[in-house]
Amino acid sequence: MFLMRVGAAGAEKPVARLADMPEGWHVDVSDLVDDFDEAFFGNGGIARIEPLVRERARSGAIEALGDDRIGAPIARPHQIVCIGLNFRDHAEETGQAVPDEPILFSKSPNTLVGPNDEVHIPRGSTKPDWEVELGIVIGQRSRYLEDAEAAKAAIAGFVCVNDVSERAFQMERSGQWMKGKSAETFNPAGPWVATPDELPDLMSLRMWLSVNGIQRQDGSTKTMLFDPYFIVHYLSQFMVLEPGDLVNTGTPPGVGMSFKPPVWLAAGDVMTLGIDHLGCQRQVVVAAP
């Protein structure tokens, strides 16, 4: 099943689509759940609504997306946790050592926006960059998980995200990476969350990103150093993950700072990106108002 939220920012309604339904059509589930949030994921919401979605689809109660805005497919999470340098080929292109353990940092939860919303270049920015990433949506409260199998059971689904970054803030202003990761609009997500059964091979998903029609990233989850199940188990040893939390798992090669000379985003640029089975995004870059 695929979970989406559609409508104006701040007034999105939850909808769902089944794999055998055409893309662009969905079932309205706003009368069944308030939102795709902590309460939904933490109380078995996916298993509860799936048979009802199937029943409604069989009866013809489906709607076209039309021109409706697509919002982030989850409500604002408690936290967005990120993994740095998690692709061997990305670590190599940056000239940094391949890490022995996951590198952790966080993004402010209010960076979350829809997959086609504008991305703002922050005031004072000189080196804004892109990163297509696989996101994990946590499905149950997770603390000290026993192993990777327990972590697998704790995952509600997966989502395409763009971990937008400001490299000067991140690398040159000292302190933590978070200041280069947490500007408003810096975490477009969606268009949907796919439940794990919709991904036939999690570790062989193509990931790509283009800027103004020029392909910049073309990688695969197969070059991940730490797979999603390892990551969730690992994180649970250091923090409590809540239902609806988002974990960004790193990016493949082709980020702007890796080019010689580097290529940075500018107002007017258009980013398009996607991951197999997780849909596509399109963002216009604008100066922060």
pLDDT of residue 175: 74
Question: 98: helix, coil or strand?
Answer: coil
Q: Which parts of 240-288 fold into alpha helices (H)? A: none
CB contact at 8 A, 172 and 93: no
pLDDT in tens, 107-121: 999 999 999 999 999
Mean pLDDT, the chain, whole residue set: 95
Whole-model pTM: value is: 0.96
How does pLDDT run across 173-212, given as a tens digit for each residue? 877 788 999 999 999 999 999 999 999 999 999 999 999 9
CB 285, CB 271: distance < 8 Å: yes
What pLDDT, on the 0 to 100 scale, is given for residue 5?
Answer: 98
Burial category of 166 from C-beta neighbours within 10 Å (exposed 0-12, middle 13-18, buried 19 and up): buried
Q: Count how many residues are written for the chain.
A: 289
Indicate the SS3 state at residue 186: coil
Give the residue-averaged pLDDT of 241-254.
97
pLDDT, tens digit (0-9, with 9 covering 90-100), for 5-58 = 999 999 999 999 999 998 899 999 999 999 999 999 999 999 999 999 999 999
pLDDT over 90, % of the chain: 90
Q: Which amino acid is at 265?
A: L
- Of the candidates 8, 77, 7, 69, the residue with the CA atom closest to the CA atom of residue 36: 77
Start-end of H helices in 37-160: 38-42, 45-58, 88-94, 148-153
pLDDT of residue 23: 83
Q: Is the pLDDT of residue 93 over 90?
A: no
What Rg do the C-alpha atoms of the chain give, in angstroms? 18
For 26, counting Cβ atoms within 10 Å of its Cβ (0-12 exposed, 13-18 middle, 19+ buried), the class is buried
- Give me the residues paired with residue 194 across strands: 2, 158
Neighbours of 36 (CB within 10 A): 28
Place 88 in a pLDDT band, splitting at 50, 70 and 90.
confident
User: Given its phi and psi angles, is residue 237 left (phi above 0), alpha (psi -120 to 50 degrees) or beta?
Assistant: alpha
Residue 199 backbone phi and psi in degrees, to 5: -110, 105
H or E element in which residue 107 lies: strand 103-107
